[in-house]
Amino acid sequence: MNFQHNNKKGFTILYAMLVSSLLLSIGLGIYGILIKDLILSSAASNSQIAIFAADSGLECALYWDLKGPSSGPTVGQSIFATSSDSIAYTGIGSQPPAVCAYVPNIMPPTSVSTTPTSAVTIITIYLNHIAGGNTADTTGSCAIVSITKNNVSSLITTTVDSRGYNTCTASNPRRVERGLEIGY
C-alpha cells in the first residue's frame, strides 16, 4: 500500500475566503464613503433651499412693506403694524391678498405685538404650491419673517429678519434653517 499525504488540501477554500473577505472589506469601505458623501450633498442641498427661502421671504416682506396695498384706506402704506397702528395685514376686506410667487402665500400674521415705540409683526410665507391648484404647500419650503418697526422721534426704522427653512414641517429631522436680516 502506498499512501500519499497531500498537505495542500483546503488551500483553495482558504484562498477563496481570503480574497472574498478582502473584496468585502474594500466594498464596505467604498459604501461608507458613498453614504457620507450622500449625506453631505443632501445637507448642502437642504442648506441652499433654506437660504433661498430666507431670501425670498425677505424680498417679499420688503416688497409689501414698501409697496403697500393698491386699494383700500391704506393705499401705498406698509401692510405691517407700526407702534401707532397695531393692525397688521390680514388679507381680509378691501386689501388684496399679498402675492409674491404662485399663490396668496403670506399667511395672516402669527403674532403682532406693539409698544409705544415699536411693533413686531411675524408672518409665515410659503414658497411652494400644490400642483394644479392655487393652494400653498405647507410641507414645502417656507420663511418665517419678523418685521420690527421702531418709532423714535418720528423716525420709523424697520428691521426685517427672515428665517428660511427647507421644509415647514418642524418635526422633520432634516430641517435646515438659514437666516437673513436687513435694516433701513
pLDDT value of residue 19: 93
Side-by-side strand order, sheet with 155-165: 111-114, 118-126, 142-152, 155-165, 177-183
Q: What is the four-CA torsion angle of 146, 151, 154, 155, rounded to 10 degrees?
A: -50
AA identity, residue 170: A
The span from the CA of 52 to the CA of 108, in Å, is 22
- Look at the block and give the residue holding cell 399679498: 98
pLDDT value of residue 92: 40
**In this structure, how many other beta carbons lie within 10 angstroms of the beta carbon of residue 156?**
15
pLDDT value of residue 26: 95
pLDDT value of residue 134: 62
Nearest CA among 116, 109, 112 for reference residue 84: 116
C-alpha torsion sign, points 77, 81, 87, 89: positive
Q: What is the DSSP string of the chain?
A: ------TTTTHHHHHHHHHHHHHHHHHHHHHHHHHHHHHHHHHHHHHHHHHHHHHHHHHHHHHHHHH--SSSTTTTS-SS-BTTB-----S-TTSPPP-SSSS--BPSPSEEEE-SSEEEEEEEEE--B-TTSS-B-TTS-EEEEEEEEEEETTEEEEEEEEEEES-S-TT-TT--EEEEEEE-
Contact 140, 127 (CB under 8 A): yes
pTM reported for the whole predicted model? 0.69
pLDDT value of residue 54: 93
**Which residue numbers in the chain have pLDDT < 50?**
90-96, 102-103
C-alpha cell at 24: 468585502
